[in-house]
Copies of this chain bind each other. A is one copy, B any other.
Amino acid sequence: MKQKIQAAIVGYGNLGKGVRKAINQSEDIELVAIFTRREPGQLEAGEAGVKFEHISAVEQYKGKVDVMILCGGSATDLPEQTPAIARMFNTVDSFDTHAKIPEFYETVDAAAKQGGTLSVISTGWDPGLFSMNRLLAEAILPQGKEYTFWGKGVSQGHSDAIRRVDGVKAGVQYTVPVQEVIEAIRAGETPELTTRQKHLRECFVVAEAGADQERIRAEIVNMPNYFADYDTTVTFITEEELAAQHSGIPHGGFVIRSGVTGEGTKQIVEFGLKLESNPEFTASVLVAYARAAQRMSQEGQSGARTVFDIPLGMLSPKSPEELRRNLL
């Protein structure tokens, strides 16, 4: 019987909770501990069957944890946590600030090489699975046009922006891809699309009692960066409706490449996700890449890796022979 991979979680928000659930579904991975900035005793009292530790205790787990699954945010947590922890442990994270990935990669690569560890950075679904499909389809169809659509799904940043508007008590924003445009691309068209033509933004807003709804609507739809470049709808609902119908965190989207081979032969490659829970799915991707991180480390590799550097076979608990026999 092979030794199970000893994993730990750093950060226990929606993503960390999702990782815990995903580890539960993985027969070859065992959860050693969850590290948090909060009071571990309090968390432990509320949840049975798992060890909580304060983040400051991470170092004491050297030799006891094969891979740390980092579930902090990209804005402030990961830029600090990933390099610090990569000096001691194999890691996997979902750093998703696209523009800063090259710099983040260099920093983590240096830290992991120093520690002799392996760090998978920026995995999840975008960056992650979507990136892989962009690369794959472009490598196969160099002459072509790529489209990425997101949604229908909740955008946390846009929901936060709504809630900052005066007179708004609560609210949620859905990014919605324009279905007619997707159908046209699937049918072989390769349109040039503006931001407005690709996605709609649907806002569901709970207004404070007595607030001017028309003023709120105008402030939202004209908000620069967030809404002004989109067709945005604002629907006022009650707090009860918000709780009953908008408490999930669904997301998804499509990567479509419409390419041409030979003399004008159309070839279309499409990858799509339809997710009832964005954080639970991202967590499941992290856990599969945690398995890969541990394996590559055991092979003696160290440094930073992205989804582009990792053979798919590394993600599966099955042996190469089994994969060739049953999945190829």
Contacts and interface: CB of A to CB of B under 8 A. Distances in A.
B327 A135 contact: yes
Interface of A: 18, 21-22, 25-26, 98, 101-102, 105, 122, 127, 129, 131-136, 138-143, 186, 252, 261-263, 265-277, 280-281, 283-285, 288, 291, 306-313, 315-317, 320-321, 323-325, 327-328
Contact of A309 (B26, B122, B285, B311): B311
A265 B271 contact: no
Given A136-B315, A324-B101, A261 B273 contact: no
Nearest to A139: B315
A98 to B, nearest CB: 7
B280 A262 contact: yes
Task: Work out how many copies of this chain go into the complex.
Answer: 2
Given A262-B18, A311-B310, A129 B136 contact: yes
Nearest to A259: B284
B265 A277 contact: yes
A283 B265 CA distance: 13
A261 B328 contact: no
Contacts of A270: 270-274
A315 B140 contact: yes
Given A22-B261, A316-B138, A102 B324 contact: yes
